[in-house]
Chains A and B, each alone.
Chain A
Amino acid sequence: KAGVTQTPRYLIKTRGQQVTLSCSPISGHRSVSWYQQTPGQGLQFLFEYFSETQRNKGNFPGRFSGRQFSNSRSEMNVSTLELGDSALYLCASSLDGRETQYFGPGTRLLVL
């Protein structure tokens, strides 16, 4: 069974731009969660989607948003990028959100 995939793997953007990241969960997994990982803050939860609905949300500003499609694929969007948004963005999937999560390789975003 294929693992969680994320595209693109690397991105360079400038301040003020927006970015969309994509995640394809493991087949059959309906829950997709997004995390931001930085050296200073570690792994921080952004939001979780289940059956196309945002079920849980972390403590991030409204510039961070996401969605999930009927095939469980998910996208996250960051608008009006700031330098501090430079991070590794990880997506994780699980069967129903209450089981072990499996992570993708991440998208490394650099904001200049």
Chain B
Amino acid sequence: GESVGLHLPTLSVQEGDNSIINCAYSNSASDYFIWYKQESGKGPQFIIDIRSNMDKRQGQRVTVLLNKTVKHLSLQIAATQPGDSAVYFCAENISGGSYIPTFGRGTSLIVHP
């Protein structure tokens, strides 16, 4: 979910568990959504995207689910590994217009070996 103030929501999981990171987006007109992963000291890295004509999209070990009714996005990571530890951001945008995505505050994922 989204954070308030300086503290990011944190999800702690054990290695091998499945992780689910949630994001609520704000603009009902948004039709393109992206998940990014940001490791300490690095820029955000693209993970997976989804357009509003889909409600589910799968990548390698990751699945994104989109619920337009409640404006909710989730990222599922299967068999979470220590290397998955990072901050995960969702971004929303309106395709067909200029690319000014709105980013969520992020969720910190901590994977314990």
Contacts and interface: CB of A to CB of B under 8 A. Distances in A.
Contacts, number: 54
Interface stretch (B9-17, B77-85, B98-106): B98-106
Contact of A100 (B34, B43, B96, B105): B34
Interface in B14-57: 34, 36, 41-46, 49
Interface stretch (A12-20, A37-45, A66-74, A79-87): A37-45
B89 interface: yes
A64 interface: no
A108 B98 CA distance: 27
A47 to B, nearest CB: 10
A22 interface: no
A101 B101 contact: yes
Given A100-B34, A105-B42, A106-B43, A33 B103 contact: no
User: Could you tell me the dominant secondary structure of chain B's interface residues?
Assistant: loop
Interface residues of B, number: 24
Given A31-B99, A56-B100, A58-B100, A103 B34 contact: no
Given A102-B46, A103-B45, A106-B43, A97 B99 contact: yes
18 contacts: A4-B43, A31-B99, A33-B99, A39-B6, A40-B5, A42-B3, A42-B105, A45-B100, A48-B98, A56-B99, A90-B43, A97-B98, A98-B99, A99-B99, A101-B46, A103-B43, A104-B43, A105-B41
Interface of B: 3, 5-6, 34, 36, 41-46, 49, 89, 95-101, 103-106
Interface of A: 4, 31, 33, 39-40, 42-43, 45, 48, 55-56, 58, 90, 92, 94, 97-106
